[in-house]
A and B are shown apart, each in its own frame.
Chain A
Amino acid sequence: MAKVTDIVLWDKPGERVLLLGNHAIARGALEANIAVFAAYPGTPSSELTDTMAAVAEKAGVYMEYSTNEKVAFETALSAAWSGLRAMTAMKHVGLNVTADTFLSAVGMGVEGGFVIMVADDPSMWSSQNEQDTRVYAKFAQVPVLEPSSPHEAKEMTKYAFELSEKFKHMVILRTTTRISHARGDVVLGELPEEIKQAKRKFGDFKKDPSRFVDVPSNARRFHPIILEKIEKIREELAECPFNWIEGKEDAKVGIIAPGLAYSYVKEALAWLGVDDVKILKLGTPFPVPYKLLEKFFDGLERVLIVEELEPVVEEQVKVWAFDNGIRIPIHGKDYVPRVYEMTTRRAVTAIAKFLGLETPVDFESIDERYKKVSAIVPPRPPSLCPACPHRNTFYAIKKAAGPNAIFPSDIGCYTLGLLPPLKTVDTTVAMGASIGVAHGLDVALNGVPGEKETKEKKKIIVATIGDSTFFHTGLPALANAIYNRSNVVIVVMDNLVTAMTGDQPNPGTGDTPHGPGKRILIEDVAKAMGADFVEVVDPYDIKATYEVMKKAIETEGVSVVVARRVCALHRVGEMRRRGEKWPIYTVNEEKCTGCKICINAYGCPAIYWDAEKKKAQVNPLICWGCGGCAQVCPFGAFEVMKEGE
């Protein structure tokens, strides 16, 4: 088992390796001779971006962690305009951030292949909503490719570049969590010479204002061109190597299975022991190639479409069937749930119902027996790490602002401040929204200076936002709050990495995959924008953090507090690699009175309650040595464990 970054660069065509879907896509991009890659990390897309960062220098690829998806898109798009093969990657909600540029640029087309990798997260394992990128693709009239396995993800990436270049149209490669975060056997292909020799490729931008300036007169020309192109692409896709018909040729029933659903359908059919069906495996859920539908529907009496989330394929198929006078029953979302991710169980259940069979496993009986289990298993939601600096920040905020203050927060690990005992997160909507929401709440509840009427007794509003999120979309919201004379406290929880997605750098850390970038200090930005109070504090010093919060709350206007301390997980990882040790705390049982402040107010996962002794205890395997517990305990019961204990 070699290192992933080595495998992705291996010059071993034909070698069978185990790769995560995201790693496989990175390899596919290299096999396609990519020149520029730009992205903002977002689960479940991040490993593609990180892999590109790790191999960029060795492959001669320009790679950047952009500040948000929109600017990443613009970076890659411009490279594609310049004739280079370029790619951007994001999670589904990232496409919303990009949407303005994305939808406007479609009509301009591209010169080099441009692939937009979008990772959807059905069932929302790590996301704020469940959206189906295929709907966006249809909206924008951009073809979408959807792999059914990690190997196919790699192959499709190469094909996506070719398709994009052929039609001078951007292409979406859409994955879901179970492709991006599934490992599968992948067969390596050839790497181009330029990648092997790490040769940086430069493009050539040919000026053409009639194409690259979307003033209304030009944009008016684009729309019909887009519609024409997509119909040509629809025809082309009948020959796409990722679309095919299989199974029994003269079967009376057919199943259409796009993307990953194909895998579940295959498994379900094997499990049910059914082989009397015809399958249309669709790698291109939009646009669905009509020619293939003609061939597939021939002789069929009933059809089932098994697709995850929205009925994107179903609607196209039904419209096509209606227009062509085909009146056989076509089932889809009436048998397959429209919410949450597809599973083999869901595929088996839908197909069994469609064919009038029993499911091979009595799922209902499992559910029945499982009811009892779910009642006695304690919940274990994710939590802020032990030694997370921002447990302390939240603790200090709550103490300074009081429980009646309102706490808008943002997207990142710190959203976990929502959980008891901290409970210092009242709203979380989207990247950067905490500052906008804080200002809106101030307007709605308090009123701002200059207005005829404002509230006497003002509600305290303290927003929290991470360092990367601050640069992502926090900046315009901060400008807005300052400009419109808000009275809010904005706490930037700066842990010096984009922690939740895997420790990527951002402008606040300054480093880039190609070496040092220019570091931007959050406090400098806040000062330059004209915030009324700006201070930096170390959250490992809880008392000092509390004092600064107090002052920030008392200051009229926009206060910005930068709570800066490196991410604990990141720090511990680096210390482990260097073979360093950190202090481990323990409870002096004589001093512990059992007051439970450390558990009920602070809530470090390394601290647990010994019900027999009625004392707090520290799990030494989880303690990362921040000493927050020692600062929080009124009785001084937490002490550093001595060597050898």
Chain B
Amino acid sequence: MSVRVGEADFDVSAELAAVAGKDHGVGGVAIFVGKVRDHAGGEKLTSMTLEHYPGMTEAELERIETEAQSRFKLSGSRIVHRVGTLAPGDNIVLVIATSPHRKDAFDATEFLMDYLKTRAPFWKKESLANGSTRWVEAHENDALAAAAWTTPSAD
């Protein structure tokens, strides 16, 4: 279990090896990589700058990860989030969850992203081809997706 926040890019293979390389009890690995798109709201995007709250970010990601461990049967997990100025095509975020069975890995990865997007103190600012900049507004859908995890499911 680990979280990391920084400007450097990540290598998915290296991160996966660090989480699951020596654990032969792992039956499934789910990996999510978030990337910078070259468009936003119908306009061409030239770069994206991510700001965060040092100290709180790491603490919040660790809380989110601990919550995932209590909800799902996980063998391991990792969250890597980049900050600073990124270009279209660049990686932003990596979430890995490993488990004895695939469903826990899939579900944990989705849970980690839904919680990260509503709890972890990161803010995105888009720079557009027309020279303007704008802060990305939080989506209602992200809040609903995170809230859905608190509703007891039928199964």
Partners in one complex: no
